[in-house]
Amino acid sequence: MKIKFLILPFLVILNLRAALSAPGDVSFIVSSTEQPKEGKEGEIPVLEDANLVPVIYEMDVHSNVTNRYAKTVITNRVKNPAKSAKQTTFSVVLPEKAFISEFVMEIGWNKYKAYVREKEEAKKIYTKAVESGQSAAHVAISTRDSNTFTVSVNVGAQEKATFYLTYEELLERKNNQYDLVLNIRPGQVVDHLNVQVYINESRPLVFVKTPSLRSGNEIAKNNDKLDPASFIEIINSTSALVKFQPDVVKQQEYAKELGGIESNGLAAQFVVQYEVERDPQGGEVLLQDGYFVHFFVPKDAEVIPKHVYFILDTSSSMYGNKLQQLKDAMTSILDEIKPEDSLSIVEFNSEIYVWDIENEKSILAQWDNYREPFEELGKLNLPGPVSATKEGVEKAKKLVENMQAGGGTHMIGGLDAGLYLVKSEIERTKGSKDQRQPLVIFLTDGQPNIGLHSTVEIIDVVTKLNEDSIKAPLYTLAFGDLADEDFLRKLALKNKAFSRQIYEAADAAIQLQQFYRQISSPLLSDVHFKYNDDASEVTNTGFPILYAGGEIVVTGRFVGHEFDPTIRAVGKRGPLTYRPRVHKPVNSLERLWAYLTVRETLQKMKIAKDKTELTKKALKLALKYSFVTEVTSLVVVKPNSTLPIYPDEGYPIPREPAYPYASAQSSGYGGGGFAGGQPLRAELLEDSGYSSTPDTPHRVTHKVVRKPRVRTTTVKPVPSPTQTEKGKNTTVEHSLKWLSTALSETNTLSLPSGELKLGEDSLKITPSEACPKTPEGKEGVCSLIKDCPQVFPQLTDFEVYKSYSCVLQKEYAGVCCPKKAEVAA
């Protein structure tokens, strides 16, 4: 989820941003008409102030966990030792599914508390604010599976400031435990760093532990040097207190071990893991004050045999390291498939191959009707599954090792073929002991460019095919930054599963393995929860599968007297019925209910065609409980201010700024030590106007004009530098977004045949030389890229383009264009 913030002139920045960008923007605004105190006008700061920056002298992270619901408060206390005003930055990395519920700033003697407003309302006021002369800027950092909240503000000479941020989340059970992940990233060494976690559960604790500190951008490994040496006190059977208080020396040691800069202090994830005892009667139902929550984990359930269908992308964009990582992951995953399971593999690039694992070969599958494919596919005599015996697994490994990348991305073909195999196997084994739970795993790193190109249409076609007689959970894996995460997330949600981002890093193979382990052991299928008629506003009650190590959570409202919940499911040996007992919680359940209801409603919004009612429902609850979400904005207004303030629309931050910029970390306490080594950046420039190219990622500049004495700012559009530079081909760059990063500083493309020019818009070269293969798989003619727009949908990235590239006049980069196309002369 990409969530962004803005502080207007009080100074200046809020940004909450997901490293794994999920759909939707949430704007956060902090503003005031009052200007920061900077001493007398025209006063020059003394030289001794030049290197002085605000210091965090205390940082507290307090988390309270009850009923698996965590409320975390982060407090930063900052002082400015300089004799002039200085900028300081408060930055927090939040768990991806957490909702901010409160933010307060204390500056000098004044306290400013945030409030939540509807996003569109905020946007309207923001527009007025911009017109009246407000300024804006951005900062950004990156950490896996997280969002980032950042505020930059001026602190007066030798004054103090305190920031309080509260966020809430429901902990998810994975691998037989709950993980509370706290990101500790102050950006500097802190004299007093105190982390405290209080756990108070309704059932006895099985264990409480704190593993090695993590960087947040790689799979965690045990490391004695990163042992947090935390203090764990078991207060009683159901509660515990955990403390982590590293001194200055220890913070620097941790920073060094994690690959950071010692002076930037600790930049790590502190994790508390725990588990509770399970009730064998059918989970734990808590009921109080008209709200209930049901935690369901079946005890002693047997693992159901499964049939795993892998649908794997081997298009040209997978060439190199990504394909090798996929091979490594598949080899490890195949070793983990149990002998009672079976598997099938479909490979797709420009063509579709269904693997005949038993005979160690692949079968080319070709058909025409992608919307209703089953009749045609039924005539192809496609191979069936192979049992996951030692022999079957070894044969599959050989085929995996022989996979090669090349061609386009025939996504619908791979999905059609995979679902046909599921349907065929369900029909073949119906009513027999060979019947297994189907699991479909779909991995891609790009976007569809063969067959059906529309992702909306692909979702509709696949969901319809899967609904008719198959109903298999379809898990999607977005491999790398170029995968369409929004599409893959919607595809999975519509097909009763979830999506995962696989980061293109050294540990990608391990990420794939961990994903598989999460779904490798189905315990129950067709799980349904039934409650009394007096139950209302209940979250989802139907689930296709429950996996070992996980948990199902249902919550709702109840106003009756006799609460009699029932769970019905199918296990390895047939239908099962559970009747759980009702208990009293250790704390109120209302906010847990509100949180889960809002989160589920937002999830439904992503795949709904008519979002109106769902948006109203999410907005109503988010405003009532002060949750910052995709439909609400966070606002801070200083007392007695009258000018309106509001949200920034979230322009991207340049990786390499077009102009010099003022770094938030250079003038404040800094943002160093953040994962990925990406600094916080805020561009505040002495010039007029504002320019951005929204269609070109990471190319945006911010400029402000400072008016003497009036001390306000104006924001005006100016032409983008990329639109005025000579030699640029802006038309093709607008259509092919990846060109902006593929082009060198001299506006050339690095291809196997050398450094070739893209060519200006006005350049004309008549296509003449024949080329062997267009993106449509036919012979064509070499044309300038700009002169063959009909193939743009297939040119999804630079690697794909290279496979269809050609050379014109020994100096220009071309593309193999269809002969019959009307190519501009």
- Using one digit for the tens of pLDDT, what is the confidence trace for 507-520? 888 889 889 999 99
pLDDT of the residue at 639: 44
Distance CA 164, CA 686 (A): 32
> Token digits for 613?
């009612």
Distance CA 544, CA 495 (A): 10
Distance CA 264, CA 254 (A): 11
Distance CA 258, CA 268 (A): 8
Contact status, residue 578 vs residue 281, Cβ threshold 8 Å? yes
pLDDT of the residue at 798: 77
pLDDT digit string (tens) for 450-509? 999 999 999 999 999 998 778 999 999 999 888 999 999 999 999 999 999 988 888 888
> Token digits for 706?
């400072």
pLDDT of the residue at 672: 31
Three-state DSSP state, 792: helix
**In 742-785, where do the E strands start and end?**
748-751, 754-757, 770-771, 780-784
Distance CA 406, CA 450 (A): 13
pLDDT of the residue at 796: 65
Closest CA to 137 of 148, 150, 147: 150
pLDDT of the residue at 414: 96
> For residues 96-125, b (16+ Cβ closer than 10 Å) or e, as one string?
bbbbbbbbebbbeeeebebebbbbeebbeb
Contact status, residue 426 vs residue 420, Cβ threshold 8 Å? no
pLDDT of the residue at 557: 96
Contact status, residue 412 vs residue 370, Cβ threshold 8 Å? yes
Please give the angle made by the CA atoms of 738, 743 and 746, to the nearest 5 degrees. Answer: 165
pLDDT of the residue at 658: 28
DSSP H stretches of helix in 53-200: 119-131
What residues in the chain have per-residue pLDDT under 70? Answer: 1-48, 122-146, 218-222, 636-730, 734, 737-738, 740-741, 777, 796-797, 800, 820-825
CA atoms within 13 A on the CB side of 170: 23
pLDDT of the residue at 248: 94
pLDDT of the residue at 481: 86
C-alpha torsion sign, points 678, 680, 686, 691: positive
Contact status, residue 657 vs residue 137, Cβ threshold 8 Å? no
Distance CA 714, CA 42 (A): 21
Contact status, residue 491 vs residue 457, Cβ threshold 8 Å? no
Torsion angle of the four alpha carbons 492, 461, 446, 140, in this order, in degrees rounded to the nearest 10? -50
Distance CA 578, CA 581 (A): 10
Q: Which residues, including other chains, have CB under 8 Å from residue 247's CB and lie 6 or more apart?
A: none
Q: What is the mean pLDDT of the chain?
A: 79
> Token digits for 430?
């119906």
Three-state DSSP state, 789: helix
Distance CA 688, CA 51 (A): 29
Q: In what order do the strands lie in the sheet with 268-276?
A: 173-174, 177-184, 268-276, 205-209
Block residue for tokens 């803005």 = 6
Give the type of residue at 91.
S
Contact status, residue 108 vs residue 638, Cβ threshold 8 Å? no
pLDDT of the residue at 804: 86
Mind giving me the DSSP string for 214-278? B-SSS-----GGG----EEEEEETTEEEEEE---HHHHHHHHHHTTS-GGG---EEEEEEEEEPP
C-alpha torsion sign, points 647, 652, 655, 661: negative
Contact status, residue 273 vs residue 210, Cβ threshold 8 Å? yes
pLDDT of the residue at 10: 40
Q: Which residues, including other chains, have CB under 8 Å from residue 457's CB and lie 6 or more apart?
A: none
Closest CA to 520 of 309, 326, 306: 306
Closest CA to 757 of 743, 773, 776, 774: 743
Residue 312 CA from chain centroid, whole number? 21
For the chain, report the end-to-end CA distance as a whole number of angstroms.
45
Torsion angle of the four alpha carbons 66, 67, 68, 72, in this order, in degrees rounded to the nearest 10? -30
Mind giving me the DSSP string for 193-224? EEEEEEEE-SS-EEEEE----B-SSS-----G
Distance CA 110, CA 159 (A): 12
Distance CA 204, CA 583 (A): 13
